[in-house]
Amino acid sequence: MDTRLRIAVQSKGRLYDETMELLGESGIKLVPVKRTLLVPSRNFPVELLFLRDDDIPESVASGTADIGIVGLNEVLEKQMNVSVIKELGFSKCRLALAVPQQAGYDGIEWFNGKRIATSYPVILQKFLADKGIKADVHVITGSVEIAPGIGLADAIFDIVSSGSTLVSNNLVEVEQVIDSQAVLIKPAATELSAEKQEILNELLFRIETVMAADGKKYVLMNVPRQSLDAVLALLPGMKSPTVLPLANEGWCSVHTVIDEKKLWGIVRQLKEAGAEGILALDIEKLIL
């Protein structure tokens, strides 16, 4: 039987869309089957094992899956014997302590003797122990933010991203404890077989290629020759921009790769310097 690298991924939820997008952009197409836990790729030697995110660290530690894609928050909470191979740059959030707006929070000592609701007791207990705080940790598995409002807790420890869930529950973030994002994990104690390691190396190369292109634009513009120096001075470029002659002798075409954010910062100056017909195109892959 052909060797396949088994990747544990979230079956549905916050991680699902971007995980599938990353694998799809890495050229991995799945066999079109529905309602199956284990789905092979039809063009790359991997298979996806769809799980709840809570179960992904253990599936990798135990060898049920070879690698997994999961939030760092779950990796730290579950304390399984896995190591992070790569940060994937999506599902960015933090685990933070939050208290009711009227609580009169005056520093970390405030938490002494308080009840804190959370789905992340391990990370929270460690943080409290490090700070020398004695609090009552109350584990609930969802809708943590409503706990203070219904008298179940004095404070919460949960995922925060935009902060809007806290605001709508009259809570204020007071201590940020860890930053999280989606990560690729592998077992810490065992090595993959040589064949699986080779598949993983190819997968990592593809993921890096996709991540390198993220947020970058391929930019082309027409520039009068006398404005060329002024335009080039504005462009960051990866090495140096490509300058090509145009049929009209007084003009040339300038091509370069720029972060989209930087492009917005310089596009008006480029026009003022004489650039015309500025085109910004998406880049799907970037091999550095």
Based on CB atoms, which residue is closest to ligand PRP, 156 or 228? 156
Closest contact distance (angstroms) between CB of 77 and ligand PRP is: 13
71, 148, 187, 241: residue in contact with ligand ATP (rule CB under 6 A): 71
Closest contact distance (angstroms) between CB of 39 and ligand PRP is: 24
Kindly state whether residue 15 participates in binding ligand ATP, applying the rule CB under 6 A. yes
Closest contact distance (angstroms) between CB of 100 and ligand ATP is: 21
Based on CB atoms, which residue is closest to ligand ATP, 178 or 266? 178
Runs of H (alpha helix) within the chain: 16-25, 56-61, 72-78, 121-131, 164-168, 194-213, 228-234, 260-272
Based on CB atoms, which residue is closest to ligand ATP, 13 or 245? 13
Closest contact distance (angstroms) between CB of 146 and ligand ATP is: 15
Q: Which of residues 149-168 bind ligand ATP (CB under 6 A)?
A: 159, 161
Q: Phi and psi (nearest 5°) for 142?
A: -160, 170
C-alpha dist (Å) from residue 79 to 122, 183, 223: 9, 15, 57
Distance between first and last Cα of the chain: 35
The token pair at 54 is: 């809570």
Cβ–Cβ < 8 Å for 170, 193? no
Separation CA 251–CA 245 (nearest Å) = 7
Based on CB atoms, which residue is closest to ligand ATP, 116 or 144? 144
Chain contacts with Mg ion (rule: CB under 5 A)? 53-54
Bridge partners for 157 per DSSP? 97, 118
Bridge partners for 48 per DSSP? 7, 39
74, 145, 154, 158: residue in contact with ligand ATP (rule CB under 6 A): 74
Based on CB atoms, which residue is closest to ligand PRP, 138 or 186? 138
Closest contact distance (angstroms) between CB of 70 and Mg ion is: 9
